[in-house]
Amino acid sequence: MIDHAKVRRESMRWYVLLTLYNAHPVGAYEELVLATMQGIYADATQLEVRQQLDYLADRDLVKVVREPGGRWFADLTRYGIDVVEYAVDIEPGIARPARGA
């Protein structure tokens, strides 16, 4: 049985990393990340994006700045860049495609 919620979460994490990789070295506000996710998952929400950013921050793949006005700003860490560039192995939880896929 396929767990669609798990597939969505793990895929979204990969797409968030790719979005921030394309925004690097500047980084991106959550609105850009959300707009990108809504291009993939039309019903993606701000809360969902924040949950994935928080997860990725806990894994030291992104750094998140929570601004006093409520906006979130994110950028990849060195380790996050290595994950996107397939320079390191990753643990489960992110749906990174096999290299060359």
pLDDT digits (tens, 9 = 90+) for 27-72: 999 999 999 999 999 999 999 999 999 999 999 999 999 999 999 9
In CATH, 4-84 is 3.40.50.1820: no
Q: Where are the domains of the chain?
A: 4-84
Enter the pTM of the model. Answer: 0.94
- Containing 39, the helix (H) or strand (E) segment is helix 30-40
Name 24's Cβ contacts closer than 8 Å, sequence gap at least 6. Answer: 75, 76, 81
- Residue 64's alpha-carbon distances to 1, 52, 98, in angstroms, are 34, 11, 27
User: By the 8 A CB rule, do 30 and 49 touch?
Assistant: yes
pLDDT band for 101, please (50, 70, 90 cuts): low
